[in-house]
Structure 1
């Protein structure tokens, strides 16, 4: 049953649940009304019996019937009330025109004087239910007091209650049907935004069209769901566009080294096939070019792998690392790439929480960028103070209109297109620094050149229990010159 209900459409389930809830509410109200009506009618009947004394003539006729020979029960014609005289021995004398009512123990107690009166239920000899009020009354000619029972049949109350039950049942049925229809209408009206959302999702799944947007009306849950869907499709469209752009840019960047590499290898292969050996100097230069192109291709593939990971994913487990030690290692690598340059460094201790390999790669990219654009015999100045790492070169600098684009993937300044590189280095720097909770920026330097500034949250001393907590916090001021 539950499985069949779950298989119904949502609007049908809402309509059925609404009808069921209204049916239970109407049934509870109807039963309560019927019980209250029955209680009220019986209370009114009891009040009427208590306030109605048996007519003296009727009681006298009933008593006289007891003195007549023959049956002590007389008359069987129905009347408004049944009157009979009850004796202390349980005998009864029925008034003319009354139905005989069974004498119970409560009536005998009144006849014996144990109680003044009694109000209880009983039945006639024919089995009809009645309410009986028995009390002692003074009747002239029959002694000081006579026990008289006045009974009222309950069929008139039962008839009214039956009519009320039929009326309540009819009203309940109409109410349930109306509630079901109203529930179906409300479900259809309320689920129209859900239908629009469903149509949009099915359209996206069928056509992969991420430009679909759902109109947002109001601030309710459906509006929030529609707004979230629009944001999701916009994010997916942006992600797909970035992915397509990344693939296009990667293909463009890979084409140049691959073409050059293919040309050089074809020259070497042709030399071997024809038996015409290349001059030793040309062969050495060709092999050196192949080696450089392979190195550039490997670096480009590594950069693409780094950028292919989701932005929300961490490159590795974060740990407390000494930024000054990583900077010193990156300086050594920069010195090898620019042996003719002068690199001056002032590194004060600073500990950050990051992934060591990714952070070292980011610092190497920044320093490599400074080395690449520094003039021959130039100077690169590196300073680490209170979590701010600045790298200043004395190159041509970056034009102000190009600064907003320096951290974009594959973006390269027109003046730097002749230099080796893929345009991914600074985008990897920005990504790594942001994952470590820091900021990175480039700005023109006074007197020419560019200043790269990296800010990373941390502390001058390592936290207790970290790998570097036992090392001394010393200031490392060094000057690395060309050999």
Structure 2
């Protein structure tokens, strides 16, 4: 059995579908044929019973064939052309089970049911009787009117029914065979037709796997399951193509951004190395400036690599534990770091309690990036205003602001305003902010502030009070 199952599973899908259709039709045809056979058999036997009941023998005819000693005068009716034309058998049965045949060539075996009719215990009985030569008859036994203790059995051979049923079996077998073969062919055709879109999808998947061509699209016809599968495949390849393009763009942008500090580092280090090799000392002030430049470039490289790592981790989804955190506390910590980076600026904070579900470290990094932008563009002596109310965190600086035509690009990777090219930074900070906020279910925007400067707004879903702790959390 297991071997058959393995062989079946090894067949192509269309062959399996054709076999299943043929099997289903075969079962249905077989069930219908069996039901038809039984219905026809019951109808034929019922007709034969009606014929036996209609051919009851008159009492006078029976008595006339029985002599004073109880012996029956047997009659056999034959036809010259067909000796077996008239096959009806009539015999008389007494209450002791004795019998004598008055019509026919064969004697029928007497049963207790026949004797019961002769005794008057039963009115009549239909049964299948066996003749002396073993042939089956359909028999009707009924009491003889007049004399007590006698009954008459009228019988006709069941071959009248069986021959018709045998012919019916041949017809049903022939029709069923044609139906099953036709169902198999129809099933194969339906499978081929129905699976043609699946074949196209398979060819497309194999093409993508072989050539890595993600621009391939499958035509979508209708709105059935195959159409939805094709739409899903097209959406998947479009998403993969977009992801690959973004990945290639990220690599290209990262390579471009890394080239500048690396070139500067290489130039400065070569100058220092040539000075050592030639013995020509660099003036102390120039040497100090070179070392400061090397340190700055290394710091910029480290920051750029850190931003790239953070952005790649953010693209893959939250890497830490998402939990309920106090946004106002995270903003306080970020403000402490911002004050150290911008000692010449004044920071004001109006923070109302707000609790959100997020990854604490990633959210703190995003807020630090927003404050770093304010520190970078805020002129010395200016104020950075920070407020948190009803889940909306606003950071307003008094810098030069962002031109309206540049606002759509501020969250793009490696994008920097032409006016900020000379300032330190990788152009990834706001990209990290956008990804972190979106993954936390919030939104972020930058807009010009009235009176100059820029307002960064972060909205995160949450509540003004922390959720109640469960018994497990309280125990922990």
Aligned to 2:438: 434
Aligned to 1:185: 189
Shift of 1:402: 0.5
Report Cα offsets for 1:155-189 as digits up to 9, x if no partner.
11111111111111111111111111111111111
> Does the alignment pair 1:230 with 2:234?
yes
Aligned to 2:27: 24
Which deviates further from its counterpart, 50-59 or 12-21?
A: 50-59
Contact 2:354 2:464 in 1 (8 A): yes
Contact 2:74 2:104 in 1 (8 A): no
Contact 1:65 1:95 in 2 (8 A): no
Q: Which residue of 92, 96, 113 corresponds with 1:85?
A: 92
Residues 464-475 of structure 1 mapped to structure 2, 5 A cutoff: 464-465=468-469
Shift of 1:279: 1.9
Contact 2:314 2:435 in 1 (8 A): no
> Does the alignment pair 1:95 with 2:102?
yes
> Does the alignment pair 1:163 with 2:167?
yes
> Does the alignment pair 1:271 with 2:278?
no
SS at 2:356's partner residue? strand
Gap change, CA 1:368 and 1:96, over 3 Å in 2: closer
SS at 2:66's partner residue? helix
SS at 2:315's partner residue? coil
Structure 2 runs not aligned, ≥5 long: 79-83
Q: Which residue of 90, 109, 126 corresponds with 2:116?
A: 109
Contact 2:397 2:455 in 1 (8 A): yes
Shift of 1:63: 1.9
**2-side partners of 1:455 and 1:110: how far apart?**
100
Gap change, CA 1:82 and 1:426, over 3 Å in 2: same
Shift of 1:454: 1.6
Q: Which residue of 115, 131, 138 corresponds with 1:124?
A: 131
Residues 282-361 of structure 1 mapped to structure 2, 5 A cutoff: 282-309=286-313, 311=315, 313-361=317-365
**2-side partners of 1:66 and 1:229: how far apart?**
99
Shift of 1:263: 1.0
TM-score (norm 1): 0.89
Gap change, CA 1:89 and 1:215, over 3 Å in 2: same
Regions of 4+ moved over 6 Å = 65-68, 71-74
> Does the alignment pair 1:399 with 2:403?
yes
Shift of 1:351: 3.0
Gap change, CA 1:327 and 1:83, over 3 Å in 2: closer
Residues 64-79 of structure 1 mapped to structure 2, 5 A cutoff: 64=67, 75=76, 78=84, 79=86
Contact 2:126 2:140 in 1 (8 A): yes
Which deviates further from its counterpart, 406-415 or 280-289?
A: 280-289
**1-side partners of 2:437 and 2:30: how far apart?**
68
Structure 1 runs not aligned, ≥5 long: 471-483
Q: Which residue of 443, 458, 462 corresponds with 2:462?
A: 458
Figure out how many residues of one structure are paired with residues of the other and give that number: 463
Which deviates further from its counterpart, 427-436 or 74-83?
A: 74-83
